[in-house]
Amino acid sequence: MAELTVHLFGKFSIGADRPDGLSLPGGKTQELFFYLMLHRHQLHSREAMAALLWPECSTVKSRKNLRQALWQLQTALASFTRNGKYAFLTIDAESIHMNGDKAMSVDVSIFERSYQEVCGVAGKALDINQAKILERAVDLYRGDLLEGCYEDWCLVERERLQNWYLIMLEKLICYSRKEHEYTRAVEYGEKILRLDRAHERTYRQLMRTFYESGNRTAALRQYDRCKVALEEELGVAPSQQTQKLYEQIRKEEVGNRTIEENRTADFVPPTAVGHLKQLLEFITRIELQVKEELQTVWSKSQKSGRRPNPKPIENGRAAG
């Protein structure tokens, strides 16, 4: 049994198989732990790690901060070594390595292994064991990676894992349709739409699922949902492929209850809506920070009796 159970999906949490629990420092020490956990199979340069976590500091200061954070992290983890025979961290003068797989159960690690086991298998070709692997993996996805963390390195990892999650769900929709498990197929489709409301391919999957289950009215209703979502999120109408499917279902021109996609691929990458929203949130935070800083400068200048230079800057020099 693993000594530590680490949840990185959704809100971070960590548990131990000991009654006294584990107290993990916050701030940069916690961010260091996050990064090492997500890149636990890599050897990290101390210099590169210091620059990543403290980019605004000098080399000397950032390396000092890293030493302090490593000491805090080692202290927190030290009591959970197995009689002193196992260390979670391997640290020397130049590098850092997280030995996480032997004594930790990490949701992201299990999720990644599950994806890699079936990434080359089409949804319709999954067997029951492969489907169960994916089902367990998607259950681990309690939310986006490290919710509340907006560091650049985290955003990159979050996007990667979210795309893997969507691919897994798409495979499970196809598998469930093949097995005539229509209720489960709908559940997986709704999970995708909760992440990307304008994911048009999923609406087509739901239209097919409901039609194949004998619920033509619900199938047509999915088209209406799709139309509204695309208009509100992207300002566009459904594609010709979606409209054609709608007309086929509306006129019941499909001879076979099983409606296939024209393309054989399991997954079409999600629309950029989610990524654009993240970017807008990031820009908004930056704007707020700039406004706060400008307000602070103005307040200080008012108190000191001096005003900031109002002259515009032209070609690197103040206009005058």
Last residue of a domain, one of 75, 105, 135: 105
Assess whether 79 and 211 both reside in one domain: no
pLDDT, tens digit, 9 for 90 and up, residues 34-88:
999 999 889 999 999 999 999 999 999 999 999 999 999 988 887 665 555 557 8
pLDDT, tens digit, 9 for 90 and up, residues 192-229:
999 999 999 999 999 999 999 999 999 999 999 999 99
Any domain includes 302? no
Last residue of a domain, one of 59, 81, 105: 105
Contact predicate 262/246, CB 8 Å:
no
SS3 148: coil
CATH number of 86's domain: 1.10.10.10
Nearest to 121 by CA among 261, 265, 268: 265
CATH number of 159's domain: 1.25.40.10
Assess whether 145 and 99 both reside in one domain: no
Assess whether 256 and 138 both reside in one domain: yes
The answer on pLDDT for 239 being more than 70 is yes
Assess whether 78 and 22 both reside in one domain: yes
Assess whether 18 and 155 both reside in one domain: no
Q: Let me know if 104 is exposed, middle or buried by CB neighbors in 10 A (0-12, 13-18, 19+).
A: buried
Assess whether 126 and 256 both reside in one domain: yes
- Of the pLDDT bands very low, low, confident and very high (cuts 50, 70, 90), residue 5 is confident
Any domain includes 303? no
Assess whether 141 and 235 both reside in one domain: yes
Any domain includes 313? no
Instruction: Return the higher-pLDDT residue of 300 and 77.
Output: 77
Nearest to 165 by CA among 194, 205, 186, 127: 194
Domains in the chain, number: 2
Any domain includes 17? yes
Other Cβ atoms within 10 Å of 144 Cβ, number: 20
The answer on pLDDT for 307 being more than 90 is no
Any domain includes 204? yes
The answer on pLDDT for 310 being more than 90 is no
pTM: 0.77
| Residue 140 lies in domain | 119-274
The answer on pLDDT for 273 being more than 80 is no
How many helices (H) and strands (E) the chain has is answered by: 11, 8
Assess whether 88 and 168 both reside in one domain: no
Length of the chain (residues): 320
- What is the H or E stretch that residue 34 is in? helix 27-38
Assess whether 12 and 125 both reside in one domain: no
Any domain includes 279? no
Nearest to 222 by CA among 233, 211, 232: 211
Instruction: Indicate the DSSP class of residue 123.
Output: G
pLDDT, tens digit, 9 for 90 and up, residues 114-136:
999 999 999 999 999 999 999 99
For residues 19-30, average pLDDT:
76
Assess whether 90 and 158 both reside in one domain: no
Any domain includes 48? yes
Any domain includes 211? yes
Last residue of a domain, one of 76, 105, 134: 105
Assess whether 98 and 129 both reside in one domain: no
Assess whether 70 and 94 both reside in one domain: yes
Q: Let me know if 247 is exposed, middle or buried by CB neighbors in 10 A (0-12, 13-18, 19+).
A: exposed
Query: For position 111, what pLDDT does the model report?
Result: 97
